[in-house]
Amino acid sequence: MKLQGQVAVVTGAASGMGKAIAALYAQEGAKVIVSDINAEAADVTVAEIKANGGEATVVVANVAKEEDIQNLIDTTVNLYGTVDILVNNAGIMDNFEAAADIEDNQWERIFAINTTSVMRATRKVLPIFLKKKKGTIVNVASAGGLNGTRAGAAYTASKHAVVGFTKNTAFMYANDGIRCNAIAPGAVETNINSSMTNINEFGVGRAMSGLNINPRVGQPDEIAKVALFLGSDDSSFVNGTVIVADAGWTAY
């Protein structure tokens, strides 16, 4: 088992990629904190993990709230004594709004969930990692964090910020046994589209030329395998990088 005895926190773990990551981590021997704003769905994830012989616990958190991030990590430490792996997976889409159509509250909400939560959770675990000179952070960015039009301007900017934050964190703490990498998934079959409420016709119309060249849609378990690689010692020499998992979409 690649994560035997490790303690992993996975945000947005009640569905989609987060659920697949939590399940695979548990299968590989990790004690997993399943964090999500949806308590009922998180309970289902934990029940499934336990049914398969794994160990997991729900900690409900709205990652847009600093107090919830604090409680998430504090609860993990109280339960398991430490944190070894942090997976910042929670995220939402925008509505494909181009710059002229962005509203402040939408911009701020997207950044709070997609970007500020990554900073806050990282900031919270770093003292733990620094004390033991070891720790791993896996951020779920996006192909939209590397290119211009996989979504609207707010989502695109938020995920570009995650990529930059990942690289900065990796280099800053590289001499302290801490690694920080990111995954940039392409289109993956999850429920993230449910966070879209009123799709912007202009924005999605402009994006369609790029969407039409996507080779295929991925599955959550395909992203989970990348997260396992980055979370385990298999990637011990990998730091500050972004692994694109998109079936070749961005290769065009």
CA–CA gap between residue 237 and residue 171 (Å, rounded): 13
For position 212, what pLDDT does the model report? 82
For position 246, what pLDDT does the model report? 97
Residue 193 lies in a domain: yes
pLDDT along the chain (252 residues), means of 10: 98 98 98 98 98 98 98 98 98 96 97 98 98 98 94 97 98 98 95 76 87 92 98 98 97 90
State the burial class of residue 13 (Cβ atoms within 10 Å of its Cβ: 0-12, 13-18, 19+): buried
Residue 137 lies in a domain: yes
CATH number of the domain bearing residue 143 = 3.40.50.720
Q: End-to-end CA distance of the chain: give it in Å, rounded.
A: 37
Residue 44 lies in a domain: yes
Domain containing residue 12: 7-251
For position 211, what pLDDT does the model report? 79
Residue 224: count other Cβ atoms within 10 Å of its Cβ: 24
CA–CA gap between residue 145 and residue 161 (Å, rounded): 7
For position 190, what pLDDT does the model report? 87
Residue 2 lies in a domain: no
Which of these is catalytic: 25, 80, 155, 173?
155
Residue 244 lies in a domain: yes
For position 194, what pLDDT does the model report? 67
For position 114, what pLDDT does the model report? 98
Note if 25 is an active site residue: no
**Domains in the chain: how many in total?**
1
For position 207, what pLDDT does the model report? 84
Residue 1 lies in a domain: no
Residue 247 lies in a domain: yes
CA–CA gap between residue 76 and residue 121 (Å, rounded): 12
